[in-house]
């Protein structure tokens, strides 16, 4: 019986052009990953009014802060620095008194919103934020905070599932050519991001229903980040730092 010969394709034996292509891609997605982490800090990390992502941030973002409104939570969190302290407290006081439309105009809330909020919160800004040129939209945000809506969860979920799956497909493809990693460990690391991506997305929906699932969001996201970091470091190491594997040593490595 003829034994199948192991393939000789690995990262360390690739030409400079192909390694440069792989490296360029890995650097760009690494920068993109860091930008995503920064963006999470701005969108979720200030939900409890303090810098840094915590379980409370996750709960407030997906389950909501049922004792208050979205508008008040934002003014005490990520939007805290976007208006003078006196104006911010005046809006919060207006919300707590029932967010009455007559008081909105009479007490100067409309003017505060126009001066401090409309630059971003308008249809012409192009930003994915509520349009506060309309009182009705402001009133909706002054209602009890129930977290992310199911429609927004569905929209963000399908974007993340498609986008992140493509990123890890190419990162995993490059990493699969690493020759110094045991096959079982390599296969485990490659498949982990997909498993925890599903867990991460599912935990958004579960947290929307029950705040106790917020821990799953952090576990899923952290595990994906660790998998990405491991594959990235190993791939860069084997392409540029690891000594070239000699022809007579290559088969021995592939058989391990």
* CA 33 remoteness from chain centre: 8
Is pLDDT at 46 greater than 80 in this prediction? no
Q: 0.75 exceeded by the pTM? A: no
- Under a CB-based contact definition with an 8 Å cutoff, are residues 164 and 201 in contact? no
Is pLDDT at 198 greater than 80 in this prediction? yes
Name the DSSP class of 238: I
Q: What pLDDT, in 10s, does the model give residues 216-243?
A: 999 999 999 999 999 999 999 999 987 5
C-alpha distances (whole Å) from 193 to each of 2, 10, 87, 119 are 37, 22, 45, 39
Is pLDDT at 2 greater than 60 in this prediction? no
Q: Is 147 helix (H, G, I), strand (E, B) or coil?
A: coil
Nearest to 79 by CA among 149, 133, 129, 134: 129
Q: What pLDDT, in 10s, does the model give residues 92-115?
A: 888 777 778 888 888 888 888 888
In angstroms, how far is the first alpha carbon of the chain from the final one?
Answer: 22
Q: Name the one residue in this structure whose structure tokens are 């799953």.
A: 216
Nearest to 120 by CA among 111, 131, 104: 131
Q: How confident is the model at residue 213 (pLDDT cuts 50, 70, 90)?
A: very high
**Residue 110, Cβ density class (10 Å: 0-12 exposed, 13-18 middle, ≥19 buried):** middle
> Which pair of structure tokens corresponds to residue 37?
């982490």
pLDDT at 91: 85
Phi and psi at 89, nearest 5°, equal -65, -30
| Cα gap 95→143, rounded to integer Å | 8
> Which pair of structure tokens corresponds to residue 68?
């208050």
């Amino acid at each position: 019986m003829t034994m199948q010969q192991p393939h000789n394709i690995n990262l360390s034996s690739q030409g400079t052009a192909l390694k440069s292509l792989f490296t360029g891609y890995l650097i760009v997605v690494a920068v993109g990953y860091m930008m995503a982490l920064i963006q999470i800090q701005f969108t979720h990390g200030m939900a409890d009014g303090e810098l840094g992502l915590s379980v409370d941030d996750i709960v407030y973002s997906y389950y909501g802060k049922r004792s208050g409104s979205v508008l008040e939570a934002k003014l005490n969190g990520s939007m805290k620095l976007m208006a003078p302290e006196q104006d911010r407290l005046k809006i919060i006081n207006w919300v707590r008194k029932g967010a009455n439309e007559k008081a909105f105009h009479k007490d100067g809330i409309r003017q505060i919103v126009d001066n401090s909020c409309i630059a971003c919160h308008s249809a012409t800004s192009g930003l994915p934020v509520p349009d506060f040129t309309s009182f009705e939209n402001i009133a909706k945000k002054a209602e009890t905070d129930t977290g992310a809506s199911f429609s927004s969860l569905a929209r963000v979920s399908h974007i993340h599932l498609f986008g992140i799956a493509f990123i890890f497909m190419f990162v995993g493809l490059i990493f699969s050519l690493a020759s110094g990693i045991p096959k079982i460990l390599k296969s485990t690391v490659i498949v982990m991001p997909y498993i925890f991506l599903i867990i991460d997305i599912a935990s958004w929906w579960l947290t929307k229903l029950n705040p106790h699932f917020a821990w799953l969001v952090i576990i899923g996201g952290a595990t994906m980040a660790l998998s990405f970091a491991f594959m990235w470091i190993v791939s860069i190491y084997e392409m540029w730092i690891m000594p070239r594997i000699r022809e007579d040593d290559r088969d021995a490595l592939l058989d391990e």
